[in-house]
Amino acid sequence: MDDDDVAVVGHANNRSSHGVGSVEIHGYLRENERMLVISLGDTIKFSLSPTKTKDRLSANVPGVPVDERNLIIKALNLYRKKTGTDNYFWIHLDKKVPTGAGLGGGSSNAATALWAANQFSGGLATEKELQEWSGEIGSDVPFFFSQGAAYCTGRGEVVEDIPRALPMDLPMVLIKPPEACSTAERFRLDQTSSIDPLVLLREINENGISQDVCINDLEPPAFEVLPSLKRLKKRVLTAGRGEYNAVLMSGSGSTIVGIGSPEPPSFVYDDEEYKDVFVSDACFLTREENQWYKEPSSMNASFSDNTVSGVGPTAE
């Protein structure tokens, strides 16, 4: 990698709590949710383009849009609009977060692109400005400019950093079947919880994570749309009794998250029904102010003016 390259890992977002990914530990139809950054994420390589006319995006898997439909390109266009810079980029996306997983992979990549563009441009914007601008791309994107754990309100764009009550080394396993949930179908069912999310936050802070405090309002409608997802969660709960502190659906699905162990139940490997599921272990991540997320094995890495190495978060 030369001095004009930036390699960043973007992490996914799960909503039971995104990004790296993000996991939402409890979601309330986009009104209140606790979101946590996790270590599963895409890797994105940025290089300054010698031309001043167009970004060029490539990807390691077919089917990924490489034009303005991709949130990475939208983020770079937004950054130029806000700052007036004329930097354009060559970008390669090494896709690791499955689509339709409810892990905020696209949102985290957009946040990562804003961060990288700002690094290349000498820090024309503050972190606060990047966070505010990112809401124009998507309601989940501002979360990734938190420190890795946040309480999100509104549509998700109002972000309040919260102390991380869960251990950084608490492992988890992500299990995503090939099927994705339809957002339109899911929200049309419009089922909400009456439990105050702040009460759940206090319970997690005082007593740690448990099945009782992991509530995702999107689970019931998602399970109606995709009954096989409900069956998967139930089987993980039953087979993993004593192994997981909690089992829940991440965000809008269709990833089932088992918190407490990095290993999936054996039936995931043994049953023909689950031969095509995506399985990955993960852990929680945080970041320091003015730094981006870093993979656990690269916690000593640092940023310079021309090189960024780190992880782009996903959310749970």
pLDDT (0 to 100) of residue 32: 60
Q: How many domains does the chain have?
A: 2
What is the mean pLDDT of the segment spanning 100-105?
88
- Does 29 share its domain with 157? yes
What is the mean pLDDT of the segment spanning 31-55?
87
pLDDT higher at 82 or 190: 82
pLDDT (0 to 100) of residue 299: 33
pLDDT (0 to 100) of residue 183: 62
What is the mean pLDDT of the segment spanning 50-66?
94
CATH of the domain at 80: 3.30.230.10
Sheet with strand 32-37: strands edge to edge: 22-27, 32-37, 149-153, 158-161
DSSP E strands, the chain: 5-11, 22-27, 32-37, 41-48, 56-59, 89-94, 149-153, 158-161, 172-176, 246-249, 256-259, 278-282, 309-311
- Does 154 share its domain with 202? no
Q: What is the DSSP string of 180-209?
A: ---HHHHHHH-----S-HHHHHHHHHHH--
Cα 64 to Cα 175: distance, rounded to the nearest angstrom: 21
pLDDT (0 to 100) of residue 200: 76
Whether 304 shows a pLDDT value over 80: the answer reads: no
Which DSSP symbol is given to 265? P
Residue 24: strand, helix, or coil? strand
Q: Label residue 134 exposed, middle or buried (CB < 10 Å: 0-12, 13-18, 19+).
A: buried
Does residue 60 sit within a domain?
yes
DSSP E strands, 67-176: 89-94, 149-153, 158-161, 172-176
- Does 189 share its domain with 251? yes
- Does 246 share its domain with 306? no
Does residue 316 sit within a domain?
no
Q: To the nearest whole number, what is the mean pLDDT of the chain?
A: 81
What is the mean pLDDT of the segment spanning 15-42?
60
- Does 234 share its domain with 307? no
Does residue 84 sit within a domain?
yes
pLDDT (0 to 100) of residue 252: 83
Residue 295, domain extent: 5-165+286-311
- Does 216 share its domain with 269? yes
What is the mean pLDDT of the segment spanning 102-126?
94
Tens digits of per-residue pLDDT, 191-217? 555 667 777 777 877 888 889 888 888
Helix, strand and coil content of the chain, in percent to the nearest 5, comes to 30, 25, 45
- Does 28 share its domain with 75? yes
pLDDT (0 to 100) of residue 28: 40
- Does 118 share its domain with 34? yes
C-alpha closest to that of 20 among 137, 103, 102, 116: 103
pLDDT (0 to 100) of residue 25: 53
- Does 277 share its domain with 295? no
- Does 274 share its domain with 292? no
pLDDT (0 to 100) of residue 229: 95
Whether 165 shows a pLDDT value over 80: the answer reads: no
Buried b (16+ CB within 10 A) or exposed e, 33-69: bbbbbbbbbbbbbbbebeeeeebebebeeeebeeeee
CATH of the domain at 204: 3.30.70.890
Decide: 251 and 104 in contact? Cβ < 8 Å: yes
